[in-house]
Each structure stands twice: as C-alpha cells, then as structure tokens.
C-alpha cells in the first residue's frame, strides 16, 4: 500500500469481515534457522519494552531449499507467546552463557527455530541449559492464533 509508511511494529493488518476485529501481524522471513527480530538485545531483555513494542501475533517463515526451490515452514506465535519467548531466550543468552566479556546490549537480537519449536537446549561447556517455556508445544502452522 503506497499510502501507509513503514510501521516498525507490524507488517500486515488483518480484519475479520464479520466482526471487523483488527489485528496487526509482524512477519519475519529467513533462509536459515535464525530470525533477526528487529530489536537489540537490550530492548529484547526489557519486559516493559516488549509489552509496548509487540502489538500482535508474529509469523516466522523459514524458507528451506527443496528440489531447486523453496519450501516454506511457518511458526505462528501470539503476542503473549512472542513476549515470553523473546524475554526468556534473551535472559538465557545474556546471563547463562559462560563468557569472559559481557554481551553488548546494542547487538541485534534473533530467535532460532529451537526457541520457536519448543525445544530445550542442552548444557554445553559454553552455556547452561535453556528450558524452553513452550516445551512440547508446537508453534508450526498454528494459524488459529491470528484471530483469537
């Protein structure tokens, strides 16, 4: 739409035809398992910022190379799920990695398919275990989350 400027918090406006309920959807796409989410680590670690900045559901589209083309894989999160996984994963990344120098709060923040798939990340010699709050919860193609 040429009449609307770029909006930082959402990419799509969806309107339910019968009720006229409107939701704002953020969409992120990647050809690998990591999705930059358009904010830095400092902001992604701030729960108040996340509650103001994330205004609706998020859809992550992973494009997997398949027979010379791309096969899309979709992950759908509600607003509350997006806030929860962003905050939990960043708290782990900032505080549970065994580093000699701290992470810069200005570094870009990303979510991986591990976080979006409800998978725990085992402890290694470089980080503590990540207990995924969505354990055993599949975020793939859960389209009903778009219009609750």
pLDDT tens-digit map of 26-75:
999 999 999 999 999 999 999 999 999 999 999 999 999 888 888 999 99
How many helices and strands, by DSSP H and E, does the chain display?
4, 6
Q: How far apart are the first and last CA of the chain?
A: 26
pLDDT of residue 29: 94
> pLDDT tens-digit profile of 92-112?
999 999 988 999 999 999 999
Q: Read off the pLDDT band of 12 (50, 70, 90).
A: confident
């Amino acid at each position: 739409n040429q009449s609307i400027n770029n909006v930082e918090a959402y990419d799509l406006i969806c309107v339910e035809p019968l009720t006229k309920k409107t939701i704002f959807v953020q969409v992120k796409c990647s050809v690998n398992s990591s999705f930059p989410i358009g904010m830095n680590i400092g902001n992604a670690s701030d729960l108040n910022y996340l509650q103001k900045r994330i205004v609706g559901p998020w859809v992550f589209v992973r494009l997997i190379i398949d027979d010379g083309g791309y096969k899309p894989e979709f992950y759908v999160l509600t607003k509350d799920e997006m806030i929860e996984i962003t905050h939990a994963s960043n708290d782990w990344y900032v505080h549970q990695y065994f580093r000699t120098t701290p992470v810069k709060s200005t570094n870009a923040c990303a979510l991986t398919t591990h976080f979006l798939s409800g998978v725990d990340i085992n402890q290694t010699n470089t980080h503590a275990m990540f207990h995924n709050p969505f354990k055993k919860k599949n975020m793939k193609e859960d389209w009903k989350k778009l219009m609750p």
